[in-house]
Amino acid sequence: MQSLWMLLASMMFAAMGACVKVSSDLGATLPHVVLFRGIPSVLLILCWTRYTRRTLTPARWTPHIWRNVSGISSMWLGFFAISHLPLSTAISLNYTAPLFIAGWMLGWGGTQRDMIRVLAVLFGFVGVIAILRPSVNESQLVPALLGLGAGALSAIAMMQIRELGRLGEAEWRTVFIFSCGVVLTGVVGLAVQGWRDISPAAWLALTGVGLFGLVGQLAMTRAFGLGSALLTAALQYTTIIFAALLGIAFWDDIPDVIAWAGMALIIASGLLSIWRTYSEDRVMRGQTKLAMQTAATTETAKETGRV
């Protein structure tokens, strides 16, 4: 059930992507966007931890460092792609992360042998292509490759988040440390590029980037930290559905038949993954119950023999 937090994260990230595109179109620079992506998280979590007297110092820094290197790099590349590509194309490239996760689990990592869930994630990616059908011309090749790189780095970051969850690290602390790194890189970017005055509308869009990103980050961290990696990855595809709905509502971008079919494929792959996970959970619970009953029976027999 923890993986269902990814649904909330998907809604928030779809809204954040729209705000990134709007702010860039209104004249905000990439360091502006990155800086505002991190500031709300840092301020709100800092105030909350001071009020509740919680510590911000993690037990281990190494997993956080690797998570920040991959996650922040993915963010910069992903925002660059959104700024220079059509929104649908950039989002489709950024959300190839679950495909990389599935490949790692199936081959390189060697820890996932369930082909049904792996195929569910792969079919979900096919659904993404059916919805967005990104077209990249020669002038957009570099942003497209960087967007694909953002997806690969995001997969690494997601697995690091899961590792932090297994270590018992609180999701709010993971988000705070990540956000501090985001703010730091944004400040460095502004120092190198120089400050640029932007319109009030751009400031409003940047605020949306930060707030939507904060809620989405917390929900995603909890989903990958405590839930099934592949199930969470499958649910992540719903970001595309929410983005399509935003397109209909605000830009009158109505998907065609092929796009709707892609949405159906995404939903089907997610449901298949959920069914597979719950089926395995029921089997494991049954095996655990049987093992406990067997152990209790054996112990009773030993006690009876002693008497």
How many helices and strands, by DSSP H and E, does the chain display?
12, 0
What letters, b where the CB count within 10 A reaches 16 and e where it falls short, cover 123-154? bbbebbebbbebebeeebeebbebbbbbbbbb
Residues in the chain: 307
Tokens for 42, please give them: 């840092």
Number of compact structural domains in the chain: 1
Residue position matching structure tokens 């605000």: 250
Rg (CA), the chain: 22
> Looking at residue 35, what is its pLDDT?
93
Handedness of CA 120, 7, 24, 80 (dihedral sign): negative
Q: With 0-12 CB in 10 A as exposed, 13-18 as middle and 19+ as buried, what is 257?
A: exposed
> Looking at residue 198, what is its pLDDT?
87
Q: What is the DSSP letter of 59?
A: S
The amino acid occupying position 150 is A
> Looking at residue 216, what is its pLDDT?
86
The answer to whether 20 touches 249, Cβ cutoff 8 Å, is no
Per-residue pLDDT of 137-171, as tens digits, reads 667 778 888 888 898 898 888 788 878 888 888 88
For residue 248, the number of C-alpha atoms closer than 13 Å in the C-beta half-sphere is: 11
Q: Which residues of the chain have pLDDT under 50?
A: 301, 306-307
Range of the domain at 146: 2-306
Helices (H), 26-140: 30-52, 62-84, 87-94, 97-103, 115-132
> Looking at residue 107, what is its pLDDT?
59
SS (H, E, C) 21-59: HHHHHCCCCHHHHHHHHHHHHHHHHHHHHHHHCCCCCCC
The answer to whether 273 touches 230, Cβ cutoff 8 Å, is yes
Q: State pTM to two decimals.
A: 0.73
Per-residue pLDDT of 99-142, as tens digits, reads 676 666 655 555 556 677 677 777 777 877 776 565 556 677 78
Q: CA 112 to CA 110: how far, in whole Å? A: 6
Residue position matching structure tokens 């449901």: 271
Q: With 0-12 CB in 10 A as exposed, 13-18 as middle and 19+ as buried, what is 115?
A: exposed
Tokens for 73, please give them: 């790099």
CA 151 remoteness from chain centre: 10
